[in-house]
């Protein structure tokens, strides 16, 4: 069976050619609930899955979902392994120099600190954040000691085992965790970072960006995007 | 999997675990074990043949061929595995796409390298964008297997080169005295006898190969390490099976798996050594002769 698959691969690889370019490969991380995660059936699920599928339906694109480590998600976009990044990626000026963004499909959300002790001084303790996130960038400049991890889950684990005093991440990721673990609590005030979340694209894919921008706008206009945000993030979530 | 898995939150421990361990993600975890075993099953013979070719080239009488063999073993052996893996996979992928690009899109005028982007024409993408996901995965896996084979082939070449020189000169002289040609001596006398000298080195390589399989994770293949970390991470009640940080247990499972693999290999290699020692002018072969006599 496996040799069959392999020989079929070689065939597919060499045959190539006339196949349609209408398939858009959607790259996500699959480890950042509720934005995107692998559900119990082993499929990609979450708010971004719902938004992405709806955008593809409206833009009449065939979409295929793939996962990629957060750390290499931009290099693998530029080298063509997939065509979009839809992984809770905030629009920032630094990223915009390397890739392009669509308009945001999620409003600028607040980032929160979560820890075991309410009284820590957030400007001087050890704070965990995920590598290459806007939150990590913010901590690096705040004077606190930054402890970086490859996955969001590891940042929370670092607080639980005492390696870090607090974790700094998107509030929507942290709130469900804090609600279920009596040891963990939200500390300090929310911080506003970034320009909302958009889909990342290669700078050369202007046509795809326009198509997606139109689809996002239509979802904003008819309120279906807000409905999805409320479905996944609760009544209190910020909407458009 | 089972009917009673409809609402996991109501189940008692045993049933909860039997549902939890048979849900969709866990099946993908179990499949990744097959991926690792498949990698070993393909890489070992391919690497051995690369090694054999390398060793043959290294002892060739034609200088360019000999240099090629020597350079191959020296270069790959001298570079750290991980650096080689990370470099070679990208280089191979881009190299293949570039070659195909030259072949199918000769009229393309845009530069292929645009800043950070490596852009070939759509028809030259390997695999095609429109290909189903399993083709992409199989392609990544094939590149990984090839890279493993190149690296371990270089080590195997060195082992086999040494083993070929370890076969007693008297054996080869006798072959020559019987009037065998160089080629006949090589295939009929040298190759059958060299394996017993190569076996200690090759079995070491096999053990290292087993332990190197988590490098698949680095190459973006969703292997057992990826799934262990993914499944072990804590889950909130947004998931059907919420649990705390269980990475320790998942990695412990991997540890047991690798230890079991090593144990099975040791037994198999031990038997192979006995088999290959038969009739050899080595201590083990001599002992076997005395027992039989």
A234 dihedral zone (left: phi>0; alpha: psi -120 to 50; beta): left
The C-alpha atoms of residue A163 and residue B162 are separated, in whole angstroms, by 49
Q: Does B38 touch chain A (CB under 8 A)?
A: yes
What DSSP element (H or E) covers B33?
Answer: helix B24-58
pLDDT tens-digit map of B93-151:
888 988 998 888 888 877 777 766 677 787 888 887 777 778 888 898 999 899 999 99
Q: Which residues of B221-245 are buried (b: 16+ CB within 10 A; e: fewer)?
A: bbbbbbbbbbbbbbbbebbbbeeeb
Residue whose C-alpha is closest to residue B201's, from B164, B233, B235, B231? B164
Chain A interface mutation, best of B9, B29, B130, highest count of A Cβ atoms under 10 Å: B130
Please report the residues numbered 160 through 199 in chain A whose beta carbons come closer than 8 angstroms to any beta carbon of chain B.
160, 176-177, 180
pTM of the model: 0.80
Would you state the structure tokens that stand for residue B151, as one six-digit string? Answer: 């690296």
Q: Does A206 touch chain B (CB under 8 A)?
A: no
For Cα atoms B11, B16, B21, give the angle at the middle one, nearest 5 degrees.
160
Q: At a CB cut-off of 8 Å and minimum separation 6, what does B154 contact? A: B50, B51, B54, B72, B73, B75, B76, B77
Residue whose C-alpha is closest to residue B153's, from B41, B48, B83, B57? B48
Q: Tell me phi and psi for residue A116, to 5 degrees.
A: -95, -15
Interchain CB contacts (distance < 8 Å): A and B: 126
- Which residue has 């690296």 as its token pair? B151
A59 touches A216 (CB < 8 A):
no
Which residues of A are less than 8 Å from B86 in CB distance? none
Widest Cα–Cα separation across chain A: 63
Q: Does B103 touch chain A (CB under 8 A)?
A: no
Per-residue pLDDT of chain B (293 residues; tens, 9 = 90+): 677 887 888 888 888 888 889 888 899 999 999 999 999 999 999 999 999 999 999 999 999 999 999 999 998 888 888 888 888 888 888 889 889 988 888 888 777 777 666 777 878 888 877 777 788 888 989 998 999 999 999 999 999 999 999 999 999 999 999 999 999 999 999 999 999 999 999 999 999 999 999 888 877 788 899 899 889 988 888 788 888 889 999 999 999 999 999 999 999 999 999 998 888 878 888 888 888 87
Nearest CA in chain A to B131: A12
Q: What is the ipTM of this complex?
A: 0.74
Q: Does A3 touch chain B (CB under 8 A)?
A: no
A232 touches A108 (CB < 8 A):
no
The C-alpha atoms of residue A164 and residue A147 are separated, in whole angstroms, by 7
Please report the residues numbered 150 through 189 in chain B whose beta carbons come closer than 8 angstroms to any beta carbon of chain A.
none
A83 touches A24 (CB < 8 A):
yes
| Cα–chain center distance at A88 | 2
pLDDT tens-digit map of A85-121:
999 999 998 899 999 999 999 998 889 999 998 888 8
Which residues of B are less than 8 Å from A202 in CB distance? 117, 119
B174 touches B185 (CB < 8 A):
no
């Amino acid at each position: 069976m496996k040799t069959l698959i392999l020989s079929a691969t070689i065939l597919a690889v060499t045959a190539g050619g006339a196949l349609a370019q209408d398939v858009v490969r959607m790259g996500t991380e699959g480890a950042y609930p509720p934005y995107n995660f692998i559900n119990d059936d082993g499929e990609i699920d979450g708010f971004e899955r719902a938004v992405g599928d709806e955008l593809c339906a409206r833009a009449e694109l065939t979409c295929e979902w793939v996962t990629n480590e957060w750390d290499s998600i931009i290099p693998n976009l530029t080298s063509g392994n997939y065509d979009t990044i839809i992984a809770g990626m905030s629009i920032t000026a630094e990223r915009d120099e390397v890739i392009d963004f669509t308009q945001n499909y999620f409003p600028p959300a607040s980032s929160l600190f979560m820890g075991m002790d309410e009284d820590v001084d957030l400007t001087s303790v050890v704070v965990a954040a995920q590598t290459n996130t806007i939150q990590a960038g913010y901590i690096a400049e705040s004077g606190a000691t930054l402890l970086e991890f490859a996955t969001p889950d590891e940042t929370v684990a670092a607080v639980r085992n005492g390696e870090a005093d607090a974790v700094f991440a998107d509030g929507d990721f942290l709130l469900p965790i804090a609600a279920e673990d009596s040891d963990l609590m939200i500390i300090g005030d929310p911080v506003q970072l970034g320009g909302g979340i958009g889909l990342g694209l290669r700078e050369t894919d202007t046509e795809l960006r326009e198509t997606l921008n139109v689809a996002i706008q239509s979802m904003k206009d008819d309120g279906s995007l807000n409905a999805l945000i409320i479905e996944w993030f609760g009544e209190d979530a910020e909407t458009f | 999997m089972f009917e009673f898995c409809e609402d996991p939150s109501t189940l008692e421990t045993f049933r909860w675990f039997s549902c939890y361990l048979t849900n969709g993600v866990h099946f993908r975890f179990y499949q990744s074990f097959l991926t690792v075993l498949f990698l070993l099953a393909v890489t070992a013979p391919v690497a051995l043949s690369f090694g054999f070719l390398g060793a043959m080239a290294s002892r060739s009488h034609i200088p360019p061929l000999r240099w090629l063999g020597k350079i191959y073993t020296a270069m790959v052996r001298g570079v750290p595995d991980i650096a080689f893996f990370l470099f070679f996979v990208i280089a191979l992928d881009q190299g293949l796409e570039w070659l195909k690009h030259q072949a199918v899109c000769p009229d393309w005028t845009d530069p292929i390298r645009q800043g950070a982007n490596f852009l070939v024409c759509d028809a030259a993408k390997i695999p095609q964008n429109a290909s189903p996901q399993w083709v992409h995965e199989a392609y990544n896996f094939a590149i990984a297997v090839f890279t493993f084979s190149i690296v371990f082939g270089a080590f195997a070449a060195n082992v086999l080169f040494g083993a070929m020189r370890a076969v007693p000169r008297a054996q080869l002289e006798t072959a020559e005295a019987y009037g065998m040609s160089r080629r006949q001596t090589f295939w009929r006398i040298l190759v059958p006898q060299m394996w017993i000298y190569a076996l200690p080195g090759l079995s070491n390589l096999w053990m290292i190969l087993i332990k190197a399989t988590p490098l698949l994770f680095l190459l973006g293949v969703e292997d057992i390490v990826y799934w262990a970390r993914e499944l072990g991470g804590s889950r909130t009640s947004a998931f059907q099976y919420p649990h705390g940080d269980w990475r320790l247990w998942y990695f412990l499972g991997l540890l047991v798996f690798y230890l079991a693999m090593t144990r099975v290999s040791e037994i198999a290699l031990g038997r192979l050594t006995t088999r290959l020692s038969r009739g050899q002018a080595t201590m083990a072969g001599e002992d076997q002769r005395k027992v039989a006599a």
